[in-house]
Structure 1
Amino acid sequence: MFRKVLFPVVLTHKMENYLSCISDMVKAGVEQVDLMHVVDLHDTYGDPKIVEFAQETLAKWKESLMKAGVAKVETYLEEGEPTEEILRRLDEEDYSFVMLGSRGTSLFKRLFLGSVAENVLHYARQPVLLLKSYPCEEGGKATYSLTCGSVFEKILYVTDLSEGAEKALPYLEKMKDIPGATLDILHVHDTRAMEYMSTEKIQEISAEEKRRIEQMRKNLADKGFVVEAHIVEDHPVAGILKYAEEKKPSLLVIGAKGKSKLLEMVLGSVTETIIHKAPCSVFVIR
Protein backbone atom coordinates (compact mmCIF):
# COMPACT_ATOMS: atom_id res chain seq x y z
CA MET A 1 0.00 0.00 0.00
CA PHE A 2 2.90 2.37 0.81
CA ARG A 3 5.65 0.29 -0.73
CA LYS A 4 6.99 2.33 -3.65
CA VAL A 5 6.75 6.12 -3.99
CA LEU A 6 7.51 8.53 -6.84
CA PHE A 7 8.74 11.93 -5.69
CA PRO A 8 9.16 14.47 -8.55
CA VAL A 9 11.36 17.29 -7.26
CA VAL A 10 12.45 20.78 -8.17
CA LEU A 11 16.02 21.74 -7.31
CA THR A 12 15.57 24.20 -4.46
CA HIS A 13 16.56 23.97 -0.81
CA LYS A 14 12.87 24.17 0.09
CA MET A 15 12.47 20.63 -1.23
CA GLU A 16 14.66 19.40 1.60
CA ASN A 17 11.78 20.21 3.98
CA TYR A 18 9.82 17.43 2.36
CA LEU A 19 12.56 14.82 2.68
CA SER A 20 11.97 14.78 6.43
CA CYS A 21 8.49 13.32 5.82
CA ILE A 22 10.01 10.16 4.38
CA SER A 23 11.06 8.79 7.77
CA ASP A 24 7.39 8.67 8.80
CA MET A 25 6.53 6.89 5.57
CA VAL A 26 9.16 4.24 6.22
CA LYS A 27 7.32 3.41 9.45
CA ALA A 28 4.15 2.99 7.40
CA GLY A 29 5.80 0.55 5.01
CA VAL A 30 7.60 2.58 2.33
CA GLU A 31 10.48 0.50 0.96
CA GLN A 32 11.49 2.46 -2.14
CA VAL A 33 11.50 6.14 -3.09
CA ASP A 34 12.19 7.22 -6.66
CA LEU A 35 13.44 10.80 -6.90
CA MET A 36 12.74 12.33 -10.28
CA HIS A 37 13.71 15.67 -11.76
CA VAL A 38 12.75 16.81 -15.24
CA VAL A 39 15.00 19.33 -16.96
CA ASP A 40 12.64 21.54 -18.93
CA LEU A 41 14.60 22.49 -22.06
CA HIS A 42 12.34 25.51 -22.60
CA ASP A 43 13.74 27.01 -19.39
CA THR A 44 17.35 25.81 -19.45
CA TYR A 45 18.22 25.85 -23.16
CA GLY A 46 20.26 22.69 -22.61
CA ASP A 47 22.79 24.31 -20.26
CA PRO A 48 25.11 21.44 -19.17
CA LYS A 49 25.81 23.14 -15.82
CA ILE A 50 22.15 22.78 -14.89
CA VAL A 51 22.24 19.06 -15.68
CA GLU A 52 25.42 18.66 -13.60
CA PHE A 53 23.82 20.53 -10.67
CA ALA A 54 20.73 18.32 -10.91
CA GLN A 55 22.82 15.14 -10.81
CA GLU A 56 24.74 16.35 -7.75
CA THR A 57 21.56 17.40 -5.93
CA LEU A 58 19.76 14.13 -6.61
CA ALA A 59 22.79 12.18 -5.37
CA LYS A 60 22.88 14.25 -2.16
CA TRP A 61 19.16 13.76 -1.54
CA LYS A 62 19.46 10.04 -2.25
CA GLU A 63 22.10 9.74 0.46
CA SER A 64 19.86 11.68 2.86
CA LEU A 65 16.92 9.32 2.26
CA MET A 66 19.09 6.25 2.70
CA LYS A 67 20.21 7.61 6.06
CA ALA A 68 16.53 8.15 6.96
CA GLY A 69 15.98 4.41 6.59
CA VAL A 70 14.63 4.02 3.06
CA ALA A 71 15.76 0.59 1.86
CA LYS A 72 16.04 1.58 -1.80
CA VAL A 73 16.34 4.98 -3.49
CA GLU A 74 16.50 5.47 -7.27
CA THR A 75 17.14 8.76 -9.04
CA TYR A 76 15.90 9.73 -12.49
CA LEU A 77 16.99 12.78 -14.44
CA GLU A 78 14.88 13.34 -17.55
CA GLU A 79 14.72 16.03 -20.21
CA GLY A 80 11.42 17.18 -21.67
CA GLU A 81 8.07 18.54 -20.60
CA PRO A 82 7.70 17.88 -16.83
CA THR A 83 4.04 16.83 -16.75
CA GLU A 84 4.43 14.42 -19.65
CA GLU A 85 7.56 12.81 -18.19
CA ILE A 86 6.04 12.38 -14.73
CA LEU A 87 2.81 10.86 -16.06
CA ARG A 88 4.80 8.60 -18.37
CA ARG A 89 6.82 7.21 -15.45
CA LEU A 90 3.65 6.76 -13.39
CA ASP A 91 2.20 4.71 -16.25
CA GLU A 92 5.33 2.61 -16.69
CA GLU A 93 6.00 1.76 -13.03
CA ASP A 94 3.90 0.27 -10.24
CA TYR A 95 3.88 3.11 -7.71
CA SER A 96 1.84 3.09 -4.51
CA PHE A 97 1.43 6.87 -4.73
CA VAL A 98 3.12 10.03 -5.97
CA MET A 99 4.31 12.74 -3.59
CA LEU A 100 4.29 16.41 -4.65
CA GLY A 101 5.52 19.54 -2.93
CA SER A 102 3.84 22.92 -2.99
CA ARG A 103 3.81 26.13 -1.00
CA GLY A 104 1.05 27.52 1.15
CA THR A 105 -1.92 29.83 1.00
CA SER A 106 -0.36 33.16 0.04
CA LEU A 107 1.62 31.72 -2.86
CA PHE A 108 -0.46 28.65 -3.49
CA LYS A 109 -2.77 29.89 -6.24
CA ARG A 110 0.05 31.46 -8.19
CA LEU A 111 2.46 28.53 -7.93
CA PHE A 112 0.12 25.60 -7.99
CA LEU A 113 -2.93 26.30 -10.13
CA GLY A 114 -2.20 25.37 -13.74
CA SER A 115 1.18 23.96 -12.72
CA VAL A 116 2.77 20.55 -13.15
CA ALA A 117 1.39 19.52 -9.77
CA GLU A 118 -2.10 20.50 -10.87
CA ASN A 119 -1.87 18.32 -13.97
CA VAL A 120 -0.51 15.34 -12.04
CA LEU A 121 -3.32 15.66 -9.51
CA HIS A 122 -5.90 15.57 -12.27
CA TYR A 123 -4.53 12.80 -14.45
CA ALA A 124 -2.42 10.43 -12.37
CA ARG A 125 -4.02 7.04 -11.74
CA GLN A 126 -2.30 6.75 -8.38
CA PRO A 127 -3.11 8.49 -5.09
CA VAL A 128 -1.37 11.85 -4.68
CA LEU A 129 0.18 13.14 -1.45
CA LEU A 130 0.40 16.93 -1.70
CA LEU A 131 2.79 18.38 0.88
CA LYS A 132 2.33 22.05 1.71
CA SER A 133 4.84 24.38 3.28
CA TYR A 134 4.33 27.98 4.30
CA PRO A 135 6.48 31.12 4.49
CA CYS A 136 7.85 31.76 7.98
CA GLU A 137 10.80 33.45 9.64
CA GLU A 138 13.50 31.68 11.63
CA GLY A 139 16.53 33.39 13.14
CA GLY A 140 15.73 36.62 11.34
CA LYS A 141 15.66 35.16 7.84
CA ALA A 142 12.78 34.03 5.62
CA THR A 143 12.33 30.32 5.11
CA TYR A 144 9.65 27.71 4.46
CA SER A 145 8.44 24.97 6.78
CA LEU A 146 5.87 22.21 6.65
CA THR A 147 2.52 22.91 8.29
CA CYS A 148 3.45 20.47 11.02
CA GLY A 149 6.59 18.77 12.30
CA SER A 150 5.17 15.40 11.30
CA VAL A 151 2.77 15.19 8.38
CA PHE A 152 1.16 12.06 9.82
CA GLU A 153 0.85 13.33 13.38
CA LYS A 154 -2.78 14.48 13.30
CA ILE A 155 -4.79 12.97 10.46
CA LEU A 156 -8.24 14.14 9.38
CA TYR A 157 -10.13 11.69 7.17
CA VAL A 158 -13.07 13.24 5.33
CA THR A 159 -15.69 10.82 4.03
CA ASP A 160 -19.01 11.16 2.26
CA LEU A 161 -19.50 7.40 2.82
CA SER A 162 -19.17 6.73 -0.89
CA GLU A 163 -17.25 3.87 -2.48
CA GLY A 164 -14.58 6.33 -3.61
CA ALA A 165 -14.06 7.65 -0.08
CA GLU A 166 -13.73 4.15 1.34
CA LYS A 167 -10.72 3.47 -0.89
CA ALA A 168 -8.78 5.52 1.66
CA LEU A 169 -9.34 3.04 4.48
CA PRO A 170 -6.45 0.66 3.63
CA TYR A 171 -4.08 3.64 3.56
CA LEU A 172 -5.36 4.82 6.93
CA GLU A 173 -4.80 1.38 8.38
CA LYS A 174 -1.13 1.61 7.40
CA MET A 175 -0.77 5.08 8.91
CA LYS A 176 -1.63 3.66 12.31
CA ASP A 177 1.85 2.14 12.39
CA ILE A 178 3.39 5.62 12.62
CA PRO A 179 4.16 6.34 16.30
CA GLY A 180 1.97 9.09 17.74
CA ALA A 181 -0.43 9.26 14.78
CA THR A 182 -4.04 10.11 15.67
CA LEU A 183 -7.11 10.14 13.45
CA ASP A 184 -10.31 12.16 13.24
CA ILE A 185 -13.10 10.92 10.97
CA LEU A 186 -15.34 13.68 9.64
CA HIS A 187 -18.61 13.31 7.77
CA VAL A 188 -20.51 16.41 6.67
CA HIS A 189 -24.24 15.86 6.44
CA ASP A 190 -25.05 17.96 3.38
CA THR A 191 -27.77 20.44 4.35
CA ARG A 192 -28.59 21.07 0.68
CA ALA A 193 -29.87 17.53 0.31
CA MET A 194 -32.28 17.94 3.21
CA GLU A 195 -34.25 20.91 1.92
CA TYR A 196 -37.01 18.89 0.27
CA MET A 197 -36.99 15.82 2.52
CA SER A 198 -39.53 14.92 5.15
CA THR A 199 -38.50 14.94 8.80
CA GLU A 200 -38.83 11.16 8.90
CA LYS A 201 -36.54 10.72 5.91
CA ILE A 202 -33.92 13.08 7.37
CA GLN A 203 -33.98 11.15 10.65
CA GLU A 204 -33.65 7.85 8.80
CA ILE A 205 -30.64 9.04 6.77
CA SER A 206 -28.99 10.61 9.82
CA ALA A 207 -29.34 7.43 11.84
CA GLU A 208 -27.78 5.33 9.06
CA GLU A 209 -24.88 7.78 8.67
CA LYS A 210 -24.21 7.70 12.41
CA ARG A 211 -24.25 3.90 12.38
CA ARG A 212 -21.77 3.67 9.49
CA ILE A 213 -19.42 6.32 10.89
CA GLU A 214 -19.39 4.66 14.31
CA GLN A 215 -18.71 1.26 12.75
CA MET A 216 -15.83 2.79 10.78
CA ARG A 217 -14.44 4.36 13.95
CA LYS A 218 -14.69 1.08 15.84
CA ASN A 219 -13.00 -0.90 13.06
CA LEU A 220 -10.04 1.50 12.97
CA ALA A 221 -9.82 1.66 16.76
CA ASP A 222 -9.76 -2.15 16.89
CA LYS A 223 -6.73 -2.06 14.61
CA GLY A 224 -4.85 0.13 17.09
CA PHE A 225 -5.63 3.68 15.93
CA VAL A 226 -6.35 6.50 18.37
CA VAL A 227 -9.49 7.68 16.58
CA GLU A 228 -12.51 9.93 17.04
CA ALA A 229 -15.52 10.40 14.75
CA HIS A 230 -17.62 13.49 14.10
CA ILE A 231 -20.68 14.38 12.02
CA VAL A 232 -21.58 18.00 11.27
CA GLU A 233 -24.40 19.56 9.28
CA ASP A 234 -23.22 22.06 6.68
CA HIS A 235 -22.34 22.54 3.03
CA PRO A 236 -19.55 19.96 2.41
CA VAL A 237 -16.81 22.44 1.52
CA ALA A 238 -17.66 24.93 4.27
CA GLY A 239 -18.04 22.20 6.87
CA ILE A 240 -14.72 20.54 6.04
CA LEU A 241 -12.71 23.76 5.92
CA LYS A 242 -14.28 25.10 9.11
CA TYR A 243 -13.47 21.87 10.93
CA ALA A 244 -9.90 21.84 9.58
CA GLU A 245 -9.29 25.44 10.63
CA GLU A 246 -10.50 24.65 14.14
CA LYS A 247 -8.77 21.30 14.68
CA LYS A 248 -5.58 22.11 12.70
CA PRO A 249 -4.76 18.65 11.33
CA SER A 250 -1.34 17.95 9.85
CA LEU A 251 -2.84 15.87 7.02
CA LEU A 252 -6.27 15.77 5.40
CA VAL A 253 -7.18 12.52 3.63
CA ILE A 254 -9.92 12.69 1.01
CA GLY A 255 -11.18 10.60 -1.91
CA ALA A 256 -11.14 11.75 -5.54
CA LYS A 257 -14.16 11.42 -7.77
CA GLY A 258 -14.30 11.17 -11.54
CA LYS A 259 -16.73 13.38 -13.44
CA SER A 260 -17.12 11.34 -16.60
CA LYS A 261 -15.92 8.27 -18.46
CA LEU A 262 -13.99 10.53 -20.82
CA LEU A 263 -12.06 12.24 -18.02
CA GLU A 264 -12.09 9.63 -15.27
CA MET A 265 -9.30 11.32 -13.31
CA VAL A 266 -10.83 14.80 -13.18
CA LEU A 267 -11.39 15.68 -9.55
CA GLY A 268 -14.83 16.30 -8.10
CA SER A 269 -15.66 19.90 -7.18
CA VAL A 270 -15.63 19.34 -3.41
CA THR A 271 -12.29 17.51 -3.52
CA GLU A 272 -10.70 20.12 -5.76
CA THR A 273 -11.79 23.03 -3.59
CA ILE A 274 -10.54 21.30 -0.44
CA ILE A 275 -7.16 20.62 -2.06
CA HIS A 276 -6.68 24.29 -2.84
CA LYS A 277 -7.95 25.74 0.43
CA ALA A 278 -7.00 23.21 3.10
CA PRO A 279 -4.62 24.62 5.74
CA CYS A 280 -2.51 21.46 5.74
CA SER A 281 -1.07 18.75 3.51
CA VAL A 282 -3.61 16.68 1.57
CA PHE A 283 -3.63 13.02 0.55
CA VAL A 284 -5.97 12.41 -2.40
CA ILE A 285 -6.91 8.73 -2.69
CA ARG A 286 -8.10 7.06 -5.89
Structure 2
Amino acid sequence: MLQFNKILFPLDYSEDCRALVPYVNEAALRFSSKLILLHALDGGLHFPGESGPLTESMENLRNLEENRLRDFATGHFAGVANVETLLETGDPATVIRGMIQHAGIDLVMMPTKGLGTFRRLLLGSVTSKVLHDVHCPVWTGVHSALGTSADHLPCRSILCAVGLDQETPGILKTAAAMAQSCETRLSILHVVETPPMSFEIDFAQFRKELMDNADLELRGMLRTAAIDAELIVLAGAPAPEVSREALKQQADLIIVGRGHDQGRIDRMFSQLYEIVREAPCPVLSV
Protein backbone atom coordinates (compact mmCIF):
# COMPACT_ATOMS: atom_id res chain seq x y z
CA MET A 1 0.00 0.00 0.00
CA LEU A 2 1.21 3.51 -0.82
CA GLN A 3 2.59 5.45 2.14
CA PHE A 4 3.73 9.04 2.52
CA ASN A 5 5.60 9.21 5.82
CA LYS A 6 6.64 12.84 5.45
CA ILE A 7 4.62 15.50 3.64
CA LEU A 8 6.11 18.93 2.91
CA PHE A 9 3.73 21.87 2.59
CA PRO A 10 5.58 25.06 1.52
CA LEU A 11 3.67 28.12 2.76
CA ASP A 12 3.47 31.68 1.50
CA TYR A 13 0.09 32.48 3.10
CA SER A 14 -1.45 33.35 -0.28
CA GLU A 15 -5.06 32.60 -1.18
CA ASP A 16 -3.81 29.83 -3.47
CA CYS A 17 -1.88 28.30 -0.62
CA ARG A 18 -4.77 28.49 1.83
CA ALA A 19 -7.03 26.76 -0.72
CA LEU A 20 -4.82 23.66 -0.38
CA VAL A 21 -5.21 23.36 3.40
CA PRO A 22 -8.16 20.88 3.30
CA TYR A 23 -6.24 18.66 0.86
CA VAL A 24 -3.08 18.71 2.97
CA ASN A 25 -5.14 17.87 6.04
CA GLU A 26 -6.79 14.98 4.21
CA ALA A 27 -3.48 13.55 3.00
CA ALA A 28 -1.73 13.87 6.37
CA LEU A 29 -4.60 12.20 8.21
CA ARG A 30 -5.16 9.46 5.62
CA PHE A 31 -1.50 8.42 5.54
CA SER A 32 -0.75 9.21 9.21
CA SER A 33 2.08 11.38 7.92
CA LYS A 34 4.42 13.77 9.61
CA LEU A 35 3.51 17.19 8.20
CA ILE A 36 6.25 19.77 7.72
CA LEU A 37 5.14 23.37 7.16
CA LEU A 38 7.92 25.34 5.51
CA HIS A 39 8.14 29.09 4.94
CA ALA A 40 11.10 30.57 3.07
CA LEU A 41 12.15 34.03 4.23
CA ASP A 42 13.96 36.15 1.66
CA GLY A 43 17.32 37.01 3.20
CA GLY A 44 17.49 40.16 1.09
CA LEU A 45 14.45 41.82 2.65
CA HIS A 46 15.02 45.44 3.74
CA PHE A 47 12.59 47.87 5.29
CA PRO A 48 13.56 51.48 4.50
CA GLY A 49 13.21 53.87 7.40
CA GLU A 50 13.25 51.18 10.09
CA SER A 51 15.58 52.07 12.94
CA GLY A 52 18.35 49.80 14.16
CA PRO A 53 20.83 47.59 12.31
CA LEU A 54 19.61 45.39 9.49
CA THR A 55 20.54 42.29 11.50
CA GLU A 56 18.20 43.43 14.26
CA SER A 57 15.41 44.03 11.75
CA MET A 58 15.89 40.55 10.32
CA GLU A 59 15.91 39.00 13.78
CA ASN A 60 12.65 40.76 14.65
CA LEU A 61 11.19 39.63 11.35
CA ARG A 62 12.22 36.02 12.00
CA ASN A 63 10.52 36.11 15.40
CA LEU A 64 7.32 37.48 13.88
CA GLU A 65 7.36 34.92 11.06
CA GLU A 66 8.03 32.02 13.41
CA ASN A 67 5.04 33.01 15.52
CA ARG A 68 2.92 33.42 12.40
CA LEU A 69 3.91 29.97 11.17
CA ARG A 70 3.13 28.33 14.50
CA ASP A 71 -0.24 30.11 14.65
CA PHE A 72 -1.03 28.89 11.13
CA ALA A 73 -0.21 25.30 12.11
CA THR A 74 -2.35 25.50 15.25
CA GLY A 75 -5.25 27.12 13.44
CA HIS A 76 -5.34 24.88 10.38
CA PHE A 77 -3.78 21.53 11.33
CA ALA A 78 -4.91 20.94 14.90
CA GLY A 79 -6.13 17.43 13.95
CA VAL A 80 -2.77 16.27 12.60
CA ALA A 81 -0.77 14.48 15.29
CA ASN A 82 2.74 15.26 14.06
CA VAL A 83 3.30 18.78 12.70
CA GLU A 84 6.65 20.56 12.43
CA THR A 85 7.12 24.21 11.44
CA LEU A 86 10.31 25.40 9.78
CA LEU A 87 11.40 28.90 8.83
CA GLU A 88 14.36 29.04 6.45
CA THR A 89 16.14 31.91 4.73
CA GLY A 90 16.79 31.90 0.99
CA ASP A 91 15.26 31.45 -2.43
CA PRO A 92 12.02 29.45 -1.94
CA ALA A 93 12.70 26.89 -4.68
CA THR A 94 16.24 26.29 -3.38
CA VAL A 95 14.99 25.98 0.19
CA ILE A 96 12.29 23.50 -0.83
CA ARG A 97 14.73 21.43 -2.88
CA GLY A 98 17.19 21.31 -0.01
CA MET A 99 14.49 20.26 2.43
CA ILE A 100 13.37 17.45 0.13
CA GLN A 101 16.93 16.18 -0.27
CA HIS A 102 17.90 16.26 3.40
CA ALA A 103 14.66 15.49 5.27
CA GLY A 104 13.50 12.39 3.41
CA ILE A 105 10.32 14.01 2.07
CA ASP A 106 7.90 11.56 0.41
CA LEU A 107 5.38 14.07 -0.97
CA VAL A 108 5.32 17.81 -1.68
CA MET A 109 1.97 19.59 -1.84
CA MET A 110 1.93 23.08 -3.33
CA PRO A 111 -0.24 25.44 -5.38
CA THR A 112 0.48 26.80 -8.83
CA LYS A 113 0.54 30.40 -9.93
CA GLY A 114 0.41 31.65 -13.51
CA LEU A 115 2.78 34.59 -13.04
CA GLY A 116 5.80 35.85 -14.94
CA THR A 117 7.10 35.16 -18.44
CA PHE A 118 7.90 32.12 -20.59
CA ARG A 119 9.18 29.62 -17.99
CA ARG A 120 6.45 30.75 -15.60
CA LEU A 121 3.72 31.16 -18.18
CA LEU A 122 1.84 28.01 -17.23
CA LEU A 123 3.07 27.49 -13.66
CA GLY A 124 4.60 29.62 -10.96
CA SER A 125 8.40 29.77 -11.05
CA VAL A 126 8.80 28.04 -7.68
CA THR A 127 6.47 25.19 -8.64
CA SER A 128 8.10 24.74 -12.05
CA LYS A 129 11.57 24.58 -10.46
CA VAL A 130 10.42 22.02 -7.90
CA LEU A 131 8.80 19.86 -10.59
CA HIS A 132 11.95 20.03 -12.65
CA ASP A 133 14.53 19.50 -9.92
CA VAL A 134 13.13 16.94 -7.46
CA HIS A 135 12.31 13.25 -7.77
CA CYS A 136 9.68 12.74 -5.07
CA PRO A 137 5.97 12.94 -5.98
CA VAL A 138 4.61 16.49 -6.24
CA TRP A 139 0.92 17.26 -5.69
CA THR A 140 -0.20 20.48 -7.39
CA GLY A 141 -3.51 22.27 -7.49
CA VAL A 142 -4.52 25.21 -9.68
CA HIS A 143 -6.63 27.50 -7.52
CA SER A 144 -9.49 27.68 -10.02
CA ALA A 145 -9.62 23.87 -10.12
CA LEU A 146 -9.89 23.48 -6.36
CA GLY A 147 -13.29 25.15 -5.99
CA THR A 148 -14.80 24.33 -2.65
CA SER A 149 -12.80 21.65 -0.91
CA ALA A 150 -15.83 19.37 -0.83
CA ASP A 151 -15.72 19.10 -4.64
CA HIS A 152 -12.74 16.71 -4.59
CA LEU A 153 -12.71 15.43 -1.00
CA PRO A 154 -12.70 12.65 -0.23
CA CYS A 155 -11.10 11.28 -3.40
CA ARG A 156 -13.63 9.09 -5.21
CA SER A 157 -12.16 8.76 -8.70
CA ILE A 158 -8.57 8.78 -10.00
CA LEU A 159 -7.51 9.22 -13.62
CA CYS A 160 -3.96 8.12 -14.46
CA ALA A 161 -2.62 9.50 -17.75
CA VAL A 162 0.34 7.55 -19.13
CA GLY A 163 2.55 7.30 -22.17
CA LEU A 164 4.24 4.20 -23.53
CA ASP A 165 7.76 4.29 -22.13
CA GLN A 166 10.00 2.94 -19.38
CA GLU A 167 8.21 4.92 -16.68
CA THR A 168 4.73 3.63 -17.47
CA PRO A 169 4.74 0.42 -15.35
CA GLY A 170 5.93 2.37 -12.30
CA ILE A 171 3.31 5.09 -12.79
CA LEU A 172 0.59 2.45 -13.14
CA LYS A 173 1.68 0.77 -9.89
CA THR A 174 1.70 4.11 -8.06
CA ALA A 175 -1.76 4.94 -9.35
CA ALA A 176 -3.10 1.53 -8.33
CA ALA A 177 -1.57 1.90 -4.85
CA MET A 178 -3.08 5.37 -4.48
CA ALA A 179 -6.50 4.08 -5.56
CA GLN A 180 -6.22 1.27 -3.04
CA SER A 181 -5.20 3.65 -0.26
CA CYS A 182 -8.10 5.99 -1.05
CA GLU A 183 -10.49 3.09 -1.67
CA THR A 184 -11.54 4.65 -4.95
CA ARG A 185 -11.94 3.66 -8.59
CA LEU A 186 -9.10 4.02 -11.09
CA SER A 187 -9.14 4.75 -14.81
CA ILE A 188 -6.10 4.63 -17.09
CA LEU A 189 -5.83 7.03 -20.04
CA HIS A 190 -3.43 7.04 -22.96
CA VAL A 191 -3.62 9.74 -25.62
CA VAL A 192 -2.19 9.03 -29.07
CA GLU A 193 -0.86 12.41 -30.13
CA THR A 194 -2.15 13.67 -33.46
CA PRO A 195 0.34 15.59 -35.63
CA PRO A 196 -0.16 19.25 -36.65
CA MET A 197 -2.80 19.93 -39.29
CA SER A 198 -0.05 20.86 -41.76
CA PHE A 199 1.41 17.36 -41.52
CA GLU A 200 1.66 16.13 -45.11
CA ILE A 201 0.79 12.47 -44.48
CA ASP A 202 -2.83 11.48 -43.94
CA PHE A 203 -2.72 10.45 -40.28
CA ALA A 204 -6.23 8.97 -40.28
CA GLN A 205 -5.09 5.67 -41.77
CA PHE A 206 -2.55 5.19 -38.96
CA ARG A 207 -4.68 6.42 -36.06
CA LYS A 208 -6.66 3.22 -35.47
CA GLU A 209 -3.56 1.06 -35.73
CA LEU A 210 -1.69 3.22 -33.21
CA MET A 211 -4.63 3.24 -30.83
CA ASP A 212 -5.09 -0.55 -31.11
CA ASN A 213 -1.38 -1.15 -30.49
CA ALA A 214 -1.39 1.17 -27.49
CA ASP A 215 -4.45 -0.57 -26.08
CA LEU A 216 -2.83 -3.98 -26.49
CA GLU A 217 0.46 -2.88 -24.88
CA LEU A 218 -1.21 -1.19 -21.92
CA ARG A 219 -3.55 -4.13 -21.28
CA GLY A 220 -0.45 -6.30 -21.13
CA MET A 221 1.12 -3.98 -18.53
CA LEU A 222 -2.06 -3.96 -16.45
CA ARG A 223 -2.30 -7.74 -16.63
CA THR A 224 1.35 -8.17 -15.59
CA ALA A 225 0.88 -5.83 -12.63
CA ALA A 226 -2.49 -7.39 -11.68
CA ILE A 227 -4.18 -3.99 -11.88
CA ASP A 228 -7.94 -3.92 -12.37
CA ALA A 229 -8.80 -0.59 -13.99
CA GLU A 230 -10.76 0.82 -16.91
CA LEU A 231 -8.48 1.53 -19.89
CA ILE A 232 -9.24 4.43 -22.23
CA VAL A 233 -7.25 5.16 -25.40
CA LEU A 234 -7.96 8.40 -27.24
CA ALA A 235 -6.36 10.43 -30.03
CA GLY A 236 -5.67 14.15 -29.89
CA ALA A 237 -3.65 16.71 -27.96
CA PRO A 238 -2.75 15.27 -24.51
CA ALA A 239 -3.63 18.17 -22.18
CA PRO A 240 -7.13 18.90 -23.53
CA GLU A 241 -7.97 15.19 -23.77
CA VAL A 242 -6.80 14.57 -20.19
CA SER A 243 -8.92 17.50 -18.99
CA ARG A 244 -12.01 16.36 -20.89
CA GLU A 245 -11.68 12.77 -19.70
CA ALA A 246 -11.15 13.92 -16.10
CA LEU A 247 -14.41 15.86 -16.31
CA LYS A 248 -16.16 12.88 -17.90
CA GLN A 249 -14.87 10.54 -15.21
CA GLN A 250 -15.56 13.12 -12.48
CA ALA A 251 -11.99 12.58 -11.39
CA ASP A 252 -10.84 14.01 -8.07
CA LEU A 253 -7.16 13.43 -8.87
CA ILE A 254 -5.05 13.09 -12.01
CA ILE A 255 -1.80 11.10 -11.79
CA VAL A 256 0.93 11.63 -14.41
CA GLY A 257 4.64 10.96 -14.84
CA ARG A 258 7.40 13.56 -15.06
CA GLY A 259 9.83 11.93 -17.49
CA HIS A 260 12.68 11.23 -15.05
CA ASP A 261 14.06 8.36 -17.12
CA GLN A 262 13.53 9.84 -20.55
CA GLY A 263 15.76 11.79 -22.88
CA ARG A 264 12.96 14.15 -23.84
CA ILE A 265 12.52 16.10 -20.63
CA ASP A 266 11.52 19.39 -22.30
CA ARG A 267 8.66 17.77 -24.18
CA MET A 268 7.47 15.88 -21.11
CA PHE A 269 7.51 19.01 -19.01
CA SER A 270 5.72 21.03 -21.66
CA GLN A 271 2.89 18.51 -21.55
CA LEU A 272 2.94 18.33 -17.77
CA TYR A 273 2.60 22.11 -17.43
CA GLU A 274 -0.36 22.15 -19.81
CA ILE A 275 -2.03 19.23 -18.02
CA VAL A 276 -1.64 20.94 -14.65
CA ARG A 277 -2.90 24.26 -16.00
CA GLU A 278 -5.97 22.80 -17.68
CA ALA A 279 -6.79 20.11 -15.11
CA PRO A 280 -10.25 20.37 -13.50
CA CYS A 281 -8.83 18.76 -10.33
CA PRO A 282 -5.48 18.42 -8.53
CA VAL A 283 -2.57 16.63 -10.24
CA LEU A 284 -0.08 14.25 -8.66
CA SER A 285 3.10 13.98 -10.74
CA VAL A 286 5.39 11.07 -9.92
TM over 0.5: yes
* 1:178 lines up with 2:182 in the alignment: yes
State which drifts further: 198-207 or 78-87: 198-207
In the alignment, which residue of structure 2 is the partner of 1:76?
86
Distance of aligned partners of 1:115 and 1:29 in 2 relative to their CA distance in 1, 3 Å threshold:
same
Are the structure 2 counterparts of residues 120 and 195 from structure 1 closer, same or farther at C-alpha, using a change threshold of 3 Å?
A: same
SS in 2 for 1:167: helix
Residues 28 and 114 (structure 1 numbering): CA distance in 2 closer, same or farther, change over 3 Å? Answer: closer
**Shift, 1:87, TM fit:** 1.1
Instruction: Quote the residue 1:139 is aligned against.
Output: none
> Are 1:157 and 1:254, in contact at CA under 8 Å, matched by a contact in 2?
yes
In structure 2, relative to structure 1, the CA distance for the partners of 1:266 and 1:202 (3 Å cut) is: closer
1:88-103 alignment to 2 at 5 Å?
88-102=98-112
1:229 partnered with 2:231: yes
Amino acid at match of 1:148: D
Is it true that 1:155 corresponds to 2:158 in the alignment?
yes
Shift of 1:131: 2.2
Q: Secondary structure at the match of 1:21?
A: helix
- C-alpha distance 194-168 of structure 1, shift in aligned 2 (>3 A): farther
- Counterpart for residue 3 of structure 1: 5
Match of 2:244 among 230, 239, 242: 242
Report the TM-score, using the length of structure 1 for normalisation.
Answer: 0.75
What corresponds to 2:192 in structure 1? 189
Paired position in structure 2 for 1:33: 35
Structure 2: how far apart are the matches of 1:199 and 1:169? 24
- 2:64 is the alignment partner of 1:56: no
Please tell me the residue identity of whatever aligns with 1:4. K
* Residue number in structure 1 paired with 2:272: 271
Corresponding letter in the other structure for 2:160: Y
Structure 1 residue ranges without an equivalent (≥5): 137-143, 222-226
Q: Contact 1:96 / 1:127 at 8 angstroms: preserved in 2? A: yes
Q: When the two structures are aligned, how many residues end up with a matched partner?
A: 265
Task: Name the SS for the 1:232 alignment partner.
Answer: strand
1:208 alignment counterpart: 216
Q: Give the superposition deviation at 1:146.
A: 4.8
Higher radius of gyration, 1 or 2? 2
Task: Report the TM-score, using the length of structure 2 for normalisation.
Answer: 0.75
Alignment-mate amino acid for residue 285 of structure 2: V
**Residues 258 and 265 of structure 1 are in contact (CA less than 8 Å); yes or no, is this contact kept in structure 2?**
no
Query: Could you tell me how far 1:25 is from its partner in structure 2?
Result: 1.6
Going from structure 1 to structure 2, the CA distance change for 1:21 and 1:120 (only over 3 Å counts) comes to same
Query: Does the residue aligned with 2:144 lie in a helix, a strand or coil?
Result: strand
Deviation per residue, 1:23-65 (Å, 9 max, x gap): 4324542421111000113345555554334222321233356
- The structure with the largest strand share of the pair is 1
**In structure 1, what is the Cα distance between the partners aligned to 2:218 and 2:100?**
38
Amino acid at match of 1:117: T
- Report the more deviating stretch, 200-209 or 271-280: 200-209
Structure 2 residue runs without a partner (length 5+): 48-56, 196-200
| Structure 1 range deviating more: 43-52 or 83-92 | 43-52
**Contact kept? 1:159, 1:187, Cα under 8 Å:** yes
